[in-house]
A and B are shown apart, each in its own frame.
Chain A
């Protein structure tokens, strides 16, 4: 990229080679940081600063009105005696564990269907991608709530087949399946990435496999899966982290309360309630930092285990 300016400057400059080179590097770095500056300022002021102050607050008792009082690790230790906290962990973990793999499976399946040359593929791709663009919005959560309510379309549809579940929104046993369906429905973003990955797999691999008499299942496990594994890994990581963050839809569907019977009390929702309804900002900060640490550990585990199943092109494995 920097080829042409380097050449032109070299011809016009007459200083000795060594310092010229380092000066050159310094100028490049300066230019780089200048371009980076707007983002960097925002990052420091809006991300690093608040994060450091929240780390401090997590060791204090802070009610928003009075100066924070240092209480050491108290917030962190009381967390584990708080039944509502443990409930929120349970709810969130089951959402991540069931929702994420299902969503990825749906994304991969649809991506494979769309990875063939048929007429109108562009339309189908857009149509399947659309839900993930609007899925996180407030209006969709409201529509979802109406759909799964008493005598809503879902209830009526199932009743037609003789399944009488009633409204899902008010039934503590059915709210988690409802949230999982909501996230699976928004498979568009990972699907597009899968599709790009599938297009990268050389067609001659499949041709060679067909010549050797491999069926579709064999081709999937011996060609598609290993060739796609870096993309699968990326999607798994992103979607897992994303799933831990679920907030807006839970807030709207449960009227900001995490009900019925605490079945939608997601981690971030409880964090929010603790901070802004109960005025316990220190406690909320401790929850936030615990989440950072846990998500960090999960990411680390993913990276460690990835060596055994993720294959990058050019790898000896």
Chain B
């Protein structure tokens, strides 16, 4: 009983304060109506997820924006990724989403399709400098809900110094899954289990998505159903069946212990398969002098299944009172060359050509840009925004794969468990 009371009180207080905060933000400066002036500026709220490094860069960008636009003040606020979505959910329930938000593709449908986000096609944002193949990933049913700030692509990270110390040659371009698995096993064997090959890459949803594309299968159908079968999923999880429990793959116990840091960032593995814009974070975490990027494995050398994904999008709340100010801030964040100089590749490679050309990339930033150039010939269209509830599916994919690595589930059992959750979720949101 007490339990409920505490829980509900927390919820009620949380919602009330979120609503109150939002009211403060959007309430100030309304005397000037929808627009402000230098003497009487409007204040818009902007929120993002990220670490201290990104916070520092964002503050610089905001200061620059306010300098160029004296009629607008930007009130910034940030949290980490996991807490970010829980906060947005409570704010949306209370009708008080911030005016402008950094957004992830995984949650675009959840909020866009439910009329929480502003159709950016109705305001003035310049998208001339964007690749035409990239923009649809921010669009749902003909409406533009998000503008990509930057792109990222999947890659295999490796630490050249670690490979050299083990006497293993660096990867040279393309490799098949068999070759990649042998490489991981070699790292584990030559290091006597001191350094693992990698985390189990079959537990990463996006890598599965890429493998499906290599086999010409789309993950989701146009009407929001699953595009692959249980057998496809079993086949995928079988890829590393022989490696689980060997030094080729870091044990799930270690992964859990190290969380929220990654095993690669903790110098426990020699490679990691993930998004290329994690470079700066990995360098900081691991203290390595240099990290390099190789393309993902594929059994078809002409089809790597790779695509550029918007690493993040800029969106506005459907209820914002300052559409014009919000649009100008988004336009500035995605197009301004000086913003590119501030963020470099920490958000991903700038999506707007104006911003990209105005940014000088050096050192590791150059590595990321060069990697995306090197895979250009293999790139396919960016995926459409995934289905409603995709964030939940992605999380449960990781969780079920983790249970598989713990040996709590067989491959058949894991596939059954995930499909049951996915089908239940799709039915719920239908």
Q: Compute how far the CA of A49 lies from the CA of B5 in the bound complex, rounded to whole angstroms.
A: 11
Residues from chain A with a CB closer than 8 A to the CB of B252 are 170, 260-261
B3 touches A260 (CB 8 A): no
**Known contacts A66-B114, A255-B259; is-contact A51 B89 (Cβ 8 Å):** no
Residues from chain B with a CB closer than 8 A to the CB of A83 are 417
Q: Compute how far the CA of A53 lies from the CA of B193 in the bound complex, rounded to whole angstroms.
A: 55
A268 touches B89 (CB 8 A): no
Judged by a CB distance under 8 angstroms, whether B85 is at the interface is yes
Judged by a CB distance under 8 angstroms, whether A197 is at the interface is no
Binds B, one of A111-119, A209-217, A274-282: A274-282
Instruction: Name the residue among A255, A260, A291 with the largest chain B CB count within 10 angstroms.
Output: A260
**Known contacts A170-B254, A257-B399; is-contact A65 B93 (Cβ 8 Å):** yes
A169 touches B85 (CB 8 A): no
Q: Compute how far the CA of A289 lies from the CA of B1 in the bound complex, rounded to whole angstroms.
A: 9
Q: In the assembled complex, how far is the CB of residue A283 from the closest CB belonging to chain B, in whole angstroms?
A: 9
Give residues of chain A (135-192) contacting chain B, Cβ–Cβ below 8 Å: 149-150, 166-167, 169-172
Which chain A residue shows the least CB distance to B257? A170
Which chain B residue shows the least CB distance to A245? B3
Q: Select B3's contact among A49, A65, A241, A277, beta carbons within 8 Å.
A: A241
Q: Compute how far the CA of A166 lies from the CA of B256 in the bound complex, rounded to whole angstroms.
A: 13
Q: In the assembled complex, how far is the CB of residue A262 from the closest CB belonging to chain B, in whole angstroms?
A: 7
A259 touches B1 (CB 8 A): no
Judged by a CB distance under 8 angstroms, whether A50 is at the interface is yes
Q: Compute how far the CA of A257 lies from the CA of B399 in the bound complex, rounded to whole angstroms.
A: 8
Judged by a CB distance under 8 angstroms, whether B11 is at the interface is yes
Q: Compute how far the CA of A61 lies from the CA of B12 in the bound complex, rounded to whole angstroms.
A: 19
A295 touches B3 (CB 8 A): yes
Give residues of chain A (286-303) contacting chain B, Cβ–Cβ below 8 Å: 288-289, 291-292, 295-296
Q: Select A259's contact among B5, B11, B86, B402, beta carbons within 8 Å.
A: B402
Q: How large is the interface on B (under 10, 10 to 19, 20 to 34, 35 or more residues)?
A: 35 or more
A172 touches B406 (CB 8 A): yes
Give residues of chain A (44-67) contacting chain B, Cβ–Cβ below 8 Å: 46-47, 49-51, 54, 61, 63-66
Judged by a CB distance under 8 angstroms, whether A233 is at the interface is no
Which chain B residue shows the least CB distance to A260? B256
Q: In the assembled complex, how far is the CB of residue B414 from the closest CB belonging to chain A, in whole angstroms?
A: 12
B3 touches A255 (CB 8 A): no
Give residues of chain B (89-124) contacting chain A, Cβ–Cβ below 8 Å: 89-90, 92-93, 110-111, 114-116
Q: Compute how far the CA of A295 lies from the CA of B3 in the bound complex, rounded to whole angstroms.
A: 9
Give residues of chain B (402-430) contacting chain A, Cβ–Cβ below 8 Å: 402-403, 406, 408, 417, 425, 428-429
Q: Compute how far the CA of A50 lies from the CA of B12 in the bound complex, rounded to whole angstroms.
A: 7
Q: In the assembled complex, how far is the CB of residue A80 from the closest CB belonging to chain B, in whole angstroms?
A: 14
A64 touches B92 (CB 8 A): yes
**Known contacts A66-B114, A259-B402; is-contact A46 B92 (Cβ 8 Å):** no
Residues from chain B with a CB closer than 8 A to the CB of A172 are 406, 408
Residues from chain A with a CB closer than 8 A to the CB of B89 are 64, 276, 279
Judged by a CB distance under 8 angstroms, whether A225 is at the interface is no
Residues from chain A with a CB closer than 8 A to the CB of B429 are 63
Judged by a CB distance under 8 angstroms, whether B395 is at the interface is yes
Give residues of chain A (26-40) contacting chain B, Cβ–Cβ below 8 Å: none
A47 touches B5 (CB 8 A): yes
**Known contacts A83-B417, A170-B256, A172-B406; is-contact A280 B428 (Cβ 8 Å):** yes
Q: In the assembled complex, how far is the CB of residue A62 from the closest CB belonging to chain B, in whole angstroms?
A: 9
Q: In the assembled complex, how far is the CB of residue B399 from the closest CB belonging to chain A, in whole angstroms?
A: 7
Q: In the assembled complex, how far is the CB of residue B244 from the closest CB belonging to chain A, in whole angstroms?
A: 14
Residues from chain B with a CB closer than 8 A to the CB of A256 are 82
Judged by a CB distance under 8 angstroms, whether A206 is at the interface is no
Q: Compute how far the CA of A169 lies from the CA of B252 in the bound complex, rounded to whole angstroms.
A: 11
Q: Select B253's contact among A46, A65, A260, beta carbons within 8 Å.
A: A260
B8 touches A47 (CB 8 A): yes
Judged by a CB distance under 8 angstroms, whether B129 is at the interface is no
Judged by a CB distance under 8 angstroms, whether A244 is at the interface is yes
Mark A64-103 against chain B: 1 for CB-CB distance below 8 A, else 0.
1110000000000000000100000000000000000000
A50 touches B9 (CB 8 A): yes
**Known contacts A46-B12, A255-B260, A288-B4; is-contact A261 B402 (Cβ 8 Å):** yes
**Known contacts A245-B2, A295-B1; is-contact A277 B402 (Cβ 8 Å):** no
A277 touches B86 (CB 8 A): yes
Judged by a CB distance under 8 angstroms, whether B132 is at the interface is no
Residues from chain A with a CB closer than 8 A to the CB of B392 are 277-278
Which chain A residue shows the least CB distance to B398? A257
Q: Compute how far the CA of A245 lies from the CA of B402 in the bound complex, rounded to whole angstroms.
A: 27
Q: In the assembled complex, how far is the CB of residue B246 from the closest CB belonging to chain A, in whole angstroms?
A: 18
Q: Compute how far the CA of A302 lies from the CA of B255 in the bound complex, rounded to whole angstroms.
A: 43
Mark B1-44 against chain A: 1 for CB-CB distance below 8 A, else 0.
11111111101110000000000000000000000000000000
Residues from chain A with a CB closer than 8 A to the CB of B259 are 255
Mark B230-256 against chain A: 1 for CB-CB distance below 8 A, else 0.
000000000000000000000011111
A276 touches B408 (CB 8 A): no
Which chain A residue shows the least CB distance to B408? A261
Q: Compute how far the CA of A257 lies from the CA of B252 in the bound complex, rounded to whole angstroms.
A: 14
**Known contacts A245-B2, A260-B406; is-contact A167 B114 (Cβ 8 Å):** no
A61 touches B8 (CB 8 A): no
Q: In the assembled complex, how far is the CB of residue A225 from the closest CB belonging to chain B, in whole angstroms?
A: 27
B4 touches A241 (CB 8 A): no
> Using a CB–CB distance below 8 Å, which chain B residues touch chain A?
1-9, 11-13, 82, 85-86, 89-90, 92-93, 110-111, 114-116, 252-257, 259-260, 389, 391-392, 395, 399, 402-403, 406, 408, 417, 425, 428-429
Interchain residue pairs A-B with the least CB separation, the first 7 = A170-B256, A170-B253, A65-B114, A50-B8, A170-B257, A245-B3, A64-B93
Q: Apart from A51-B4, A63-B114, A288-B8, what 17 extra A-B contacts exist at CB < 8 Å? A: A46-B8, A46-B9, A46-B12, A47-B9, A61-B428, A65-B110, A169-B256, A242-B2, A245-B3, A260-B402, A261-B406, A262-B399, A276-B90, A277-B391, A277-B395, A289-B4, A296-B1
20 residue pairs of the A-B complex, CB under 8 angstroms, read: A46-B9, A50-B9, A50-B12, A54-B8, A63-B114, A64-B93, A65-B116, A150-B257, A167-B257, A245-B3, A245-B6, A259-B402, A260-B256, A261-B402, A261-B406, A262-B403, A277-B391, A278-B425, A279-B389, A288-B3
